[in-house]
Amino acid sequence: MSVVRLHQVVALLGDFPALAGVDLSVEAGEVVLFQGANGAGKTTLLRLCAGLVAPTAGTAEVLGHDLHEQRRAVRRRVGLVGHGSGLYGDLTVSENVAFWAGLVGAGTAEVEQALHRLEVAPRLHDVAVGRLSTGQRKRTALASVVVRRPELWLLDEPHAGLDQRGRDIVDQLIREAAAAGATVLVASHELDRVGSLHPRPVTLAGGIIREADHAS
């Protein structure tokens, strides 16, 4: 079953065509790595798959839902780690994660588990997110996505701001998600592999997917 099926998708940011006709098909359980320079359209492509950006042309389906009509149904099933952390600087680490967990029906145990898995030190749990370092904040943001148990992971530069240990945790997370049957789309302008995993590379440039990658 295709988890993502895009055909000639155009998406606008204001009046700028960030995606200029993307064709892409991703099967369940696949790990795909989007590569490309800044401004190639990686972030918009992930946000489109998350149902946050509407396609203006083309046919687009994610997790079986049409992106023109059913974006809300898509949103609750995906987990997006983007440039914004989606955290409130005035709330503590555990308050933030607990808030997002509460909205998706996850309990305190899952919050603890997610923070443990991202190796956010317990002494930081009661510290306001605004006072965390970039790396710790990123880990907290990842934890708040982990509690959602997404079927489709959308990771935009997931390694940015993390130390080596943090990067290893992210790689581990991706491996486990894929092993559990989830699909993972990673965008990065520097990586060509994810830990020991060799994901399918797809290169974006100028809002379209480079020809060579269609063959693979």
Contact set with another protein (CB under 8 A): 10, 12-17, 20-21, 37, 40, 50-52, 54, 71-72, 75-76, 78-80, 82-91, 95, 99-100, 102-104, 128, 144, 148, 204-208, 210
| Angle (CA) 41 46 49, round 5° | 125
Read off the tokens for 141: 């943001």
Q: CA-to-CA distance for 135 and 188, rounded, in angstroms?
A: 17
Residue showing tokens 């002494």: 123
DSSP string for residues in 48-98: HHTTSS--SEEEEEETTEETTT-HHHHHTTEEEE-SS----TTSBHHHHHH
Nearer to another protein, 16 or 193 (CB): 16
Query: Shortest Cβ distance from residue 195 to another protein (Å)?
Result: 26
Q: Where are the alpha helices (DSSP H) in the chain?
A: 42-49, 71-75, 93-103, 108-117, 134-146, 164-179, 212-215
Least gap, CB of 205 to another protein (angstroms) = 4
Residues β-bridged to residue 204: 209
In angstroms, how far is the first alpha carbon of the chain from the final one? Answer: 18
Which is nearer to another protein, 75 or 175 (by Cβ)? 75
Q: Are strands 152-156 and 183-187 parallel, antiparallel or unpaired?
A: parallel
Distance of closest approach, residue 85 Cβ to another protein, in angstroms: 5
CB of 80 or CB of 171, closer to another protein: 80
When the beta carbons of 54 and 180 are compared against another protein, the nearer one is 54
If the CB atoms of residues 40 and 191 are measured against another protein, the closer one turns out to be: 40
The answer to whether 34 and 185 are in contact (CB under 8 A) is yes
**φ/ψ of residue 71, rounded to 5:** -65, -35
- Closer CB to another protein, 28 or 128, in the complex: 128
Least Å distance, CB 76 to another protein, is 3
Nearest approach in angstroms of CB 206 to another protein is: 3
Smallest distance, another protein to C-beta of residue 178, A: 21
